[in-house]
Amino acid sequence: MALVKGTEKREQADYKEIFEHWKYPATVGNDTAVDNINFNSHESSDYAIKRMSAISEDTHEPFMLFEFMTIDETLAMAKITKGAEQIGAIKDAIVGGMIGAIKDPEAAVVAGTDAGWDAYANRKTYNKEEIKAGWNSAISTVRGWIKDANKVAERNYTGSIALYMPTDIQISDSMVYNEDTRKLGAALNQFAEGGNSGDLVNWVTLTDPAVLAAAGAAAGMIPGIPAAVTAVITGSIGTLIQAEMQRHTGKVMNPNELVRYASTALRTFTFNWTILPDSEHESDEAAGLIKFFRKSAHAKKQSDVMVTVPDHVICSFHGAKDMIQLPPCFIETVNVTYNPNNTSFFKKNNAPVEIGLSVGLKEIVPIYADDVERGY
């Protein structure tokens, strides 16, 4: 294989792959075997898990490795074509069934199949086994379409970028909790435990918006009365009355505050580097890795109608034991600053002598407790 300015061209008899490998500084990862590994996994989540089993802890120069996974366009188009065919088959089954139901009820369950169309045209009399077979065929078509639609897009490895370990690496987990109250639940619990009935049946309690809204929802179970409408109306009335009750009695229901778990927030990660090329080769590497980051961050335009989403990135830390590893991410931002502290350029190739690079990543799905156990 030949290396041409960071691009590795690998050719075999039945396929051709082009991988890009860039690094800064030129020595980073040289004492490891993990700075440009391809595990050849189509799913980036599986790739990330495999990557965690090959983290280098022995390198004398800690570094970060970014590996890129792009949509397999051939398989994607095959899915689109197959999906269109499946949707067409489902449409035929539905239309055929409707036509059959009008003139021949038994034809409704088989008219969507090829054999069913022929039989319908000949006004054949259907037996129970044929009807059952036609029904199963239609159900199988729908299930196949749903199953294929739920599969994630296949991805291919496109290459890697190795950069020295930056400072100020922050991995922050955050959970979303919503503040809430349980007024009605607390009142019912008080009553159930033998409390004074006056705690539940009084003007302060019965006119509270939460209680009235619950009563309205119950009233909505009566036929002809929409639950949502009655709940909103009674809750609004309660809001108006509550102010008057507090003004006249000085009492309100205990809000019984609590917090409810809502979700785990998607995390973002930002990394910053200062690139100071020592040679023309390192200048070329810097230009190449910046272009690779930016290219992988952008969607690919297929036509005026369709684009392909940007690449996934597998980010890993090497040479630093027990660091939290990252799940698959998208590149959210790429910021480049040329010569932030001076206006000098190399005389030989007019390349900037200093480049500031900042890359922001966002995880694709939130992690859970078992993901933390695995090292994320």
- The residues, ordered by sequence, that sit 6+ positions from 223 with a Cβ below 8 Å of its Cβ are none
User: 37-41, 52-56, 154-158, 261-265 — which is least confidently predicted?
Assistant: 37-41
> Are residues 166 and 59 part of one domain?
yes
> Are residues 102 and 14 part of one domain?
no
CB 159 within 8 A of CB 9: no
Give the per-residue pLDDT at 261: 87
Give the pLDDT band (50/70/90) at residue 91.
Answer: low
> Are residues 256 and 270 part of one domain?
no
* Total of domains in the chain: 3
> Are residues 297 and 369 part of one domain?
yes
Give the per-residue pLDDT at 199: 57
Give the pLDDT band (50/70/90) at residue 12.
Answer: very low
Last residue of a domain, one of 245, 262, 279: 262
Give the per-residue pLDDT at 297: 96
User: 247 or 294: which carries more pLDDT confidence?
Assistant: 294
- The residues, ordered by sequence, that sit 6+ positions from 180 with a Cβ below 8 Å of its Cβ are 257, 258, 259, 260
Give the pLDDT band (50/70/90) at residue 44.
Answer: confident
Give the per-residue pLDDT at 338: 92
Give the per-residue pLDDT at 271: 97
> Are residues 125 and 161 part of one domain?
no
Give the pLDDT band (50/70/90) at residue 366.
Answer: very high
CB 350 within 8 A of CB 368: no
Last residue of a domain, one of 217, 234, 262: 262
CB 98 within 8 A of CB 108: yes
Model confidence at 269: pLDDT above 90: yes
> Are residues 271 and 348 part of one domain?
yes
> Are residues 180 and 169 part of one domain?
no
Give the per-residue pLDDT at 313: 95
> Are residues 364 and 314 part of one domain?
yes
Give the per-residue pLDDT at 110: 54
Give the per-residue pLDDT at 355: 94
User: 47 or 115: which carries more pLDDT confidence?
Assistant: 47
User: 26-30, 54-58, 136-140, 213-217 — which is least confidently predicted?
Assistant: 213-217
- Mean pLDDT computed over 25-41: 84
Helix axes 114-121, 73-103, angle to 10 degrees: 30
> Are residues 208 and 141 part of one domain?
no
Give the pLDDT band (50/70/90) at residue 220.
Answer: very low
Taking CA atoms, 190 is separated from 209, 245, 250, 254, 258, in Å, by: 19, 21, 21, 12, 17
Q: Tens digits of per-residue pLDDT, 98-139?
A: 545 444 555 554 555 555 555 555 555 555 566 566 666 666
> Are residues 297 and 221 part of one domain?
no
Q: Which domain holds residue 232?
A: 176-262
> Are residues 239 and 194 part of one domain?
yes
Model confidence at 26: pLDDT above 70: yes
Last residue of a domain, one of 216, 240, 262: 262
Give the per-residue pLDDT at 113: 56
> Are residues 222 and 160 part of one domain?
no
Give the pLDDT band (50/70/90) at residue 345.
Answer: confident
